[in-house]
């Protein structure tokens, strides 16, 4: 009797471990950018040109030689607001060292995004991807999605919404890119 109970308990434990492992694998496959960073082999960041909310046109290739934080966001995304605030602080701290931040707005109505960006005080360019052409090329897995592009024009790191541990890692990676 004891032996049967022990076997059932062991079977349940193995089953629970298998389910937890499978769940973790599914979570990583479905949400690869959430609260972690991905080191990306330095592939050339595809160039694009978009019109900003201020009416000016911006081209990514104009920032060659700078470290670029490219953030994909939308006004309805709560985590995006926190990411915009974080990037605004980083731009203020590391702007003179060569960091440039570009926001890519995925909203249909740019006025919604303008209200959020103005409310946060985001001083970096907010580019409206009305046709979703840039987001189709860069394929953000979730929002917010931030890419760090090195001075050489290569995409180095991808981030989803950051927790405090991932934020510290991002800061270290950003400093390394700025030192290159």
127 and 81 in one domain?
yes
DSSP H helices, the chain, are 2-30, 78-94, 110-120, 133-138, 164-179
21 and 49 in one domain?
no
Residue 166 and residue 104: Cα distance in Å, rounded?
Answer: 22
| Per-residue tokens: 124 | 């970096």
Residue 70 and residue 31: Cα distance in Å, rounded?
Answer: 19
82 and 48 in one domain?
yes
| Per-residue tokens: 158 | 């991808």
17 and 40 in one domain?
no
42 and 25 in one domain?
no
Closest by Cα among 125, 99, 108, 102 to 180: 99
The domain that holds 60 is classified in CATH as 3.40.30.10
- What pLDDT does residue 10 have? 59
Residue 88: CB atoms within 10 Å: 18
124: left (phi > 0), else alpha (psi -120 to 50), else beta? beta
Residue 172 and residue 166: Cα distance in Å, rounded?
Answer: 10
- Contact indicator for 74, 66 with CB cutoff of 8 Å: no
Query: Looking up tokens 């060659």, which residue turns up?
Result: 64
80 and 4 in one domain?
no
57 and 131 in one domain?
yes
Domain count, the chain: 2
Range of the domain at 117: 33-179
47 and 20 in one domain?
no
Average pLDDT by consecutive 10-residue portion of the chain (180 residues)?
Answer: 61 48 40 50 89 97 97 96 95 97 95 94 96 96 96 95 89 96
- What pLDDT does residue 4 have? 63
67 and 26 in one domain?
no
- Could you please report the per-residue DSSP string of 74-107? -TT-HHHHHHHHHHHHHHHHHGGGTEEEEEEE--
37 and 25 in one domain?
no
Residue 35: CB atoms within 10 Å: 16
46 and 64 in one domain?
yes
137 and 70 in one domain?
yes
- The secondary structure element, H or E, covering residue 73 is strand 67-73
């Amino acid at each position: 009797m004891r032996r049967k109970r022990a076997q059932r308990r062991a079977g349940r434990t193995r089953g629970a471990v298998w389910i937890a492992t499978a769940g973790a694998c599914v979570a990583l496959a479905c949400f690869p950018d959430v609260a972690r960073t991905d080191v990306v082999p330095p592939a050339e960041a595809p160039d694009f040109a978009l019109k900003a909310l201020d009416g000016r046109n911006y081209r990514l290739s104009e920032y060659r030689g700078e470290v670029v934080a490219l953030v994909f966001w939308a006004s309805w995304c709560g985590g995006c607001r926190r990411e915009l605030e974080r990037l605004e602080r980083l731009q203020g701290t590391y702007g003179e060292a060569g960091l440039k931040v570009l926001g890519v707005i995925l909203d249909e109505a740019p006025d919604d995004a303008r209200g959020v960006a103005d409310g946060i005080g985001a001083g970096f360019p907010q580019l409206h991807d009305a046709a979703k052409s840039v987001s189709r090329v860069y394929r953000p897995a979730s929002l917010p999605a931030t890419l760090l592009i090195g001075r050489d024009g290569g995409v180095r790191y991808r981030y989803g919404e950051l927790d405090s541990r991932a934020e510290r890692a991002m800061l270290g990676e950003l400093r390394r890119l700025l030192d290159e």
